Structure 1
Amino acid sequence: MKILSAAQIRALDQATIQAEGITSVELMERAAAAFTEWLLEKLAAHPQREVHVFCGPGNNGGDGLAAARLLHLAGQAVRVWLLPAARHSADFTANHQRLPSEVPCIELDAYQLPELSSSAVLVDALFGTGLNRPLTGVAAAVVHYLNNSSAPVVAVDMPSGLLTDAPQPKSSPVVCAHYTISFELPKLAFLLPQNADYVGQWELVSIGLNTTVIHKTPVDNYYTDLKLLTNRLPARQRFAHKGTYGHALLLGGSYGKIGAAVLAAQACLHSGVGLLTLAVPAVGYTVAQTAVPEAMALPDVGQDYIGELPNLKGYSVVAIGPGLGQQPDTLRVLEQLLRTCPAPLVLDADALNLLGSNRHLLALLPPDTILTPHPKEFERLTQPAHDDYHRLELLRAFCARHRCYVVLKGAYTCIGTPTGTLYFNSTGNPGMATGGSGDVLTGVVAALCAQGLAPLDAALLAVYAHGRAGDLGAQQIGQMGLTAGIIAAHLGPALEELTTPPTF
């Protein structure tokens, strides 16, 4: 699914109007109808709740006015509050004129804002995506008023005051919505941690925007969904054997952190790898043999940490990092691996921390290496980010410079590519914020690389399946009870959902 800029969204609206021979008011009616349907479904259990719609002077206000009319026609108690303005958009005016006289419509006064019950529902239709500067005056006062209310706030398309695809000015007032109902495609702003308190829970509703135009619109940001992943994971072959699906080498673990390597190994095995060799320090040998009997355990010469690089011949992929530690001998192993590894590489955890402390080694990264940092680990590889948008710029630059793929972990894990295209993941839940979850992801990436998938496909599928496995686990035991081991156990069903069956 493509992520369009604010300018591209406006162009898409116009292209849909032209292609379908409709008016902008008719397209606005579609948006209002889709929003109203969503809201009425939420209100079905509480039909007595009054809805207060706060409308700005532009097209977002026109959406709000149209929604107010539709809510009224559906029998819902509704009241409209208008932001004072010298000028209004044509579509706002058209919908203002269509508003039934029975619907109270009152102009807002910054000094006499209405007192509203906590049982009311507040609809933010002030500005949407049409804003390019901070709010001031009455508009700012209304935003502060909405944010201080104890009633739930639902934003139409975009919380007012929030910029669609640029950093937010400091101290700029923004509506803190509980829900944001957007149209057709996600906005980049929805996917960034710094905007979480503004966006709340966001959902998409379709308004029939022209699919041909969407297909032709060039973008460098995508939201990963099932459609995007179609045909990337082939079905298992009837006459396949363990050699068909590759042999992965996983180097990890140190004294007190053998569990990280075990979790990565279990995830690798649950993700379809044919063979797995788990290289651990001697202290972890018994643990590895016991906890992961399906893997071949390869004890290192070092007692408490890995200090020697195994023979790399015959491996389809090499992954290093979970629980690795940062000993000087381990650093030498990593450098030797970067210089000599003939197979695809996956780097995580302490392997990334070692790189961050020894940045000269970044020049040794083989092309198409996959790195899986969380934001702090990525910061050690680059520099502190001013904001989430700056972090994305750093991500693009890093991937281009080192010709690598970076899986930047988070609520909407972002995959950076050498071409500059970014992919934001759509699966997962807060219960996955638990120790070992990242180690599990490393195992999935390694397994898919071992099976011969291209690095981009391996990263996309691994991140999606990892999140989906977390969702499946949470469905059974709840988010609070989710552990890394449970995520690993659900990887098989998650990947099965992505498998492409033979065509008929």
Structure 2
Amino acid sequence: MKIFPTQSIKELDAYTIENEPIASIDLMERASLALAKAIAERWDAETPFTVFAGPGNNGGDALAVSRLLAKKGYKVSVYLFNTKGELSPDCETNKERLADVENVDFHEVTSQFVPPVLTDDHVVIDGLFGSGLNKPLSGGFAAVVKYINASPARIVAIDVPSGLMGEENTFNIRANIVRADVTLSLQLPKLAFLFAENQEFVGEWELLDIGLSEDAIEETDTDYFLLEGEDMQYLLKTRNKFAHKGDFGRALLIAGAQGMAGASILAAKACLRSGVGLLTVHVPYCNNMIVQTSVPEAMTEMDPSDTCFACPTDTDEYQAVGIGPGLGKSEETEAAVLEQIDACQTPMVVDADALNVLAGHRNYISRLPKGSILTPHPKELERLVGKCQDSYERLTKARELARTAGVYIVLKGAYSVIITPQGKCYFNTTGNPGMATGGSGDVLTGVVLALLSQGYAPQDAACLATYVHGLAGDIARKKQGMMGMTAGDIVNCLPLAWRMMEE
């Protein structure tokens, strides 16, 4: 699914109006019917609604929804803010249509606003401003937003919470943004919905199909996408009946210092559970028996060091190399990681402590083999690109790093995003907060490594691995619950996740 900047969404609206063809007021009615239906499915007719409508088309949507709810028997109070005496044409039309409807207590605010009483029984419909907003709210509208937020009422935002901009909110005034419980987004999500710091404003979000032109959506370019199961299934390669282990690649995993063998075990098990033909784990002597006992399907290669990764190894016979989980931060390991990068011609999956080494030697990022994938969490990324004020800036800097270094980045989080050297961003939709546990990232490293070794293109490997990793986490959540989940549960659920993809 594509995610468009707000300017492109305006163009999609205009294209639909011109080419369907459909009058803009009728497109608004179609959107409002979808909105009213979604609201009525959540709350019964005994629920009192208070609607706050602005002077633009978002306000027009709110007025149309008020009319449709009132016709369904809901009691609706409406406050239309028209302080400049200037409504958009479609908002004006819906104001006129509302005048003839019963069950509506209508107020047009032209100067002084007397706030209504809002209780915890009320639902507020926020239709003040939509996604076209390009500056922070101020003055009277900011005061209205603060009043809504201070009330005990539940809040439903139309398309986007008023005050929230569709993409960047770095310099927004957070106190002047509606804190919605539910956001009913028209046709497509907004990029801002996918950033952690905006969750308190967006709440739960639901997409409503309003029939924008599918041709226009298909033909309009964007750099942002949501990963969907159907797309991921399309990427999955089928296996030949006469296939053998040599057809599915050889992977090398360099992981685990003394006291951190678990990281290498989790990554190794995940790799083996994701279809790799052969796996070798490079370990210090102290971890050799632990890994061989815990993961008998993997081979081990012992480092000369008793306790850490201290000596780079030959990678020519492998299709992909994973490095970083549980490596530690010793000087010996730091030097070995840098030497390994210089000596390696095979695509690498770089995670955890290997990323921390790169943070101290940033010039080595561009020396990584072509097709390499970095898998940082936000703090690890900031060590590579510098401090970021928010998720939008973090994404911007990650895109620049991917472009200049020619690497792929999996930026981990609630909506993990895969970033290509061309600047394309693919946001993952699977996974849950139960995966916020030690070792979850090591599991992802193993899955990415397995797919790279099997010959998947780096972008496909990163997208498919991230999606299935989250899917396994969702399966584990159903079995264990979020509180009781461990990274090992994610590994154990990988086979079922892959089977679901195959079917």
Normalised-by-shorter TM-score class: over 0.9
The Cα of 1:161 is off from its aligned counterpart by: 0.4
Separation in 1, partners of 2:173, 2:11: 30
Give the letter for the 2:48 counterpart: E
1:263-298 deviations in Å (ceiling 9; x for gaps):
111111111111111111111112111221111122
Q: 1:212 aligns with which of 212, 215, 219?
A: 215
Separation in 2, partners of 1:36, 1:170: 30
- 1:60·1:125 contact (CA, 8 Å) conserved in 2? yes
- 2:366·2:406 contact (CA, 8 Å) conserved in 1? no
Give the letter for the 2:216 counterpart: V
Q: 1:198 aligns with which of 198, 201, 217?
A: 201
Aligned twin of 2:284: 281
Separation in 2, partners of 1:417, 1:110: 52
Separation in 1, partners of 2:259, 2:312: 21
The Cα of 1:18 is off from its aligned counterpart by: 1.2
Separation in 1, partners of 2:167, 2:385: 23
Aligned twin of 1:332: 335
When structure 1 is superposed on structure 2, of 308-317 and 365-374 the one drifting more is 308-317
When structure 1 is superposed on structure 2, of 34-43 and 452-461 the one drifting more is 34-43
Q: 1:143 aligns with which of 142, 145, 151?
A: 145
Aligned twin of 1:49: 47
Separation in 2, partners of 1:122, 1:270: 48
Aligned twin of 2:123: 121
- 1:186·1:223 contact (CA, 8 Å) conserved in 2? no
Give the letter for the 2:307 counterpart: D
Q: 2:56 aligns with which of 52, 55, 58?
A: 58
Aligned twin of 1:474: 477
Aligned pairs for 1:78-93 within 5 A: 78-85=76-83, 86-93=85-92
Aligned twin of 1:164: 166
- 1:279·1:297 contact (CA, 8 Å) conserved in 2? yes
Aligned twin of 1:309: 312
The Cα of 1:423 is off from its aligned counterpart by: 1.2
Aligned pairs for 1:338-487 within 5 A: 338-487=341-490
Give the letter for the 2:371 counterpart: D
Separation in 2, partners of 1:359, 1:169: 29
The Cα of 1:440 is off from its aligned counterpart by: 0.6
- 1:320·1:346 contact (CA, 8 Å) conserved in 2? yes
The Cα of 1:110 is off from its aligned counterpart by: 6.1
- 2:74·2:103 contact (CA, 8 Å) conserved in 1? no
Separation in 2, partners of 1:330, 1:214: 49
The Cα of 1:139 is off from its aligned counterpart by: 1.1
- 2:136·2:172 contact (CA, 8 Å) conserved in 1? no
Separation in 1, partners of 2:397, 2:434: 28
The Cα of 1:455 is off from its aligned counterpart by: 0.2
- 2:76·2:103 contact (CA, 8 Å) conserved in 1? no
Aligned twin of 2:30: 30
The Cα of 1:182 is off from its aligned counterpart by: 0.3
Aligned twin of 2:185: 182
The Cα of 1:259 is off from its aligned counterpart by: 0.7
The Cα of 1:21 is off from its aligned counterpart by: 1.5
Give the letter for the 1:32 counterpart: S
The Cα of 1:236 is off from its aligned counterpart by: 2.3
Give the letter for the 2:298 counterpart: A
Separation in 2, partners of 1:291, 1:40: 54
Give the letter for the 2:402 counterpart: C
When structure 1 is superposed on structure 2, of 391-400 and 7-16 the one drifting more is 391-400
The Cα of 1:170 is off from its aligned counterpart by: 4.2
1:158-216 deviations in Å (ceiling 9; x for gaps):
00001112234343510011111101111111111221211111111111110110111
The Cα of 1:230 is off from its aligned counterpart by: 4.5
* Total equivalences in the alignment: 498
Aligned twin of 2:3: 3
Structure 2 residue matching 1:319: 3-state secondary structure: strand
Separation in 2, partners of 1:430, 1:248: 30
Structure 1 residue matching 2:131: 3-state secondary structure: helix
TM-score where L is the length of structure 2: 0.96
Give the letter for the 1:464 counterpart: Y
Distance 1:298 1:376, change over 3 A: same
Structure 2 residue matching 1:129: 3-state secondary structure: coil
Give the letter for the 1:33 counterpart: L
Distance 1:110 1:252, change over 3 A: farther
Percent identity of the aligned residues? Answer: 46
Aligned twin of 2:114: 112
Separation in 2, partners of 1:110, 1:373: 51
Separation in 2, partners of 1:282, 1:494: 34
Structure 2 unaligned runs (5+)? none
- 2:54·2:128 contact (CA, 8 Å) conserved in 1? yes
Structure 2 residue matching 1:237: 3-state secondary structure: coil
Separation in 1, partners of 2:160, 2:7: 14
- 1:110·1:142 contact (CA, 8 Å) conserved in 2? no
Structure 1 unaligned runs (5+)? none
Structure 2 residue matching 1:354: 3-state secondary structure: helix
Structure 1 residue matching 2:369: 3-state secondary structure: coil
Aligned pairs for 1:237-252 within 5 A: 237-252=240-255
Give the letter for the 2:469 counterpart: H
Give the letter for the 1:389 counterpart: Y
Aligned twin of 1:321: 324
Aligned pairs for 1:287-306 within 5 A: 287-306=290-309
Give the letter for the 1:42 counterpart: R
Aligned twin of 1:13: 13
Distance 1:183 1:414, change over 3 A: same
Separation in 2, partners of 1:33, 1:489: 44
